[in-house]
Amino acid sequence: MTGYLLVLCAAVLWALIGPLSKFLFAEGVTPLEVAFWRSTIGWGLFAVQALALRTGQRAKASDLPALAAFGLVGVALFYGSYQVAIEHVGAALGSVLLYTAPAWVALLSRLVLAEPTTPAKLCAVAATILGVALVSLSGGGTVKPSALGVLAGLTAGFTYALYYIFGKKFLIRYDTATLFLYALPVGSLCLLPFVHFAPKSPSAWALLVLLSAATTWGGYSVYYAGLKRLEATRAAVVATLEPVIAAWLAWWWWNERFGPAGYLGSGLILAAVLLMVAEGVRRRPTGSPS
């Protein structure tokens, strides 16, 4: 039960990214500046944790290029594109587009890791494509999709999928704190040339600290703590509550609502996620580790 609660806590924390970001946009902070401070403050918190608990590891020189690439793609591109998506299509649709990641994983794992393509994977990819089409073209609600916002959301989903690919191929030797100790500052430096720093009120700084502490340091920490107590596939099912919670918060705080086609498309994308999880359970031999 502890594992489930920890992963559920992570889903709730990650669901705050969209709503808290919208509050920051209202304070005059641009999407890329939000992404910059989320990675920078998050790195500071991981650094304090590593110093206080002596949990950090020294990365091997041969792994530094992979860690730097993860910082560029998994932090700079991921954080930046997700913030742009939230600005242009809202927190609800942005979180749904983020969860196209399993479809990207299905495609990339075939190309990069030579994993087999199964009928379930093909169905999940097809459901995701149809779901994206429906949410992108939907009308009748308060969510108004835009080409830039949808493209940014799909980019966020693609770069989020690379967490799996990098982890599977390069980064399995490092714990969470060490991985982000190296990756987050690289992401911040890559974002820096594109950031326009605006004057910020005390409430904006408080929101930036809350966003970083909750969704970067807190979210990753509790998720991986839960993963130690729970099979990865079960954790993935619980984590799919993130876009549901984000959509509910966006409705509650910002009155973001999909039209009928948008809800149908969102359901198809989440169904594709669950199909991929079920496929992982079916293909894993009984008793094997996740």
Given a contact cutoff of 8 angstroms between Cβ atoms, the answer to whether 276 and 124 are in contact is: yes
Domain positions in the chain are 2-283
Higher per-residue confidence, 30 vs 242: 30
Give tens-digit pLDDT for 145-185. Answer: 889 999 999 999 999 888 777 766 665 677 777 888 899 99
Cα–Cα distance measured from residue 173 to residue 60, given in angstroms and rounded to the nearest whole number:
10
Highest mean pLDDT among 27-36, 50-59, 223-232, 243-252: 27-36
Given a contact cutoff of 8 angstroms between Cβ atoms, the answer to whether 99 and 153 are in contact is: no
Provide the percentage of residues in the chain whose pLDDT is more than 70.
88
**pLDDT range class, residue 106, cuts 50, 70, 90:** confident
**Structure confidence at residue 26 (pLDDT):** 94
Cα–Cα distance measured from residue 240 to residue 96, given in angstroms and rounded to the nearest whole number:
10
Cα–Cα distance measured from residue 186 to residue 197, given in angstroms and rounded to the nearest whole number:
19
61 CB neighbour count, 10 Å cutoff: 7
Average pLDDT over every residue of 280-290: 45
72 CB neighbour count, 10 Å cutoff: 18
**Structure confidence at residue 168 (pLDDT):** 65
The pLDDT of residue 286 is above 80: no
Tokens 């939000």 found at = 34
The pLDDT of residue 210 is above 60: yes
The values of phi and psi at residue 138, to 5°, are: -70, 150
**Structure confidence at residue 178 (pLDDT):** 82
The pLDDT of residue 129 is above 70: yes
The pLDDT of residue 194 is above 90: yes
39 CB neighbour count, 10 Å cutoff: 28
Higher per-residue confidence, 116 vs 62: 62
Amino acid found at 248: W
Least confident of 51-55, 57-61, 279-283: 279-283
**pLDDT range class, residue 217, cuts 50, 70, 90:** very high
Cα–Cα distance measured from residue 97 to residue 283, given in angstroms and rounded to the nearest whole number:
26
Least confident of 79-93, 114-128, 184-198: 114-128
**Structure confidence at residue 285 (pLDDT):** 42
The pLDDT of residue 196 is above 80: yes
Average pLDDT over every residue of 244-266: 86
Token digits of residue 63: 């792994």
For the chain, what is the mean pLDDT? 84
Per-position b or e across 48-57, b if 16+ CB within 10 A of its CB: ebbeeeeebe
Q: What is the DSSP letter of 97?
A: H
Average pLDDT over every residue of 129-142: 78
**pLDDT range class, residue 192, cuts 50, 70, 90:** very high
Contacts of residue 277, Cβ cutoff 8 Å, sequence gap at least 6: 102, 233, 236, 237, 240
Given a contact cutoff of 8 angstroms between Cβ atoms, the answer to whether 95 and 46 are in contact is: no
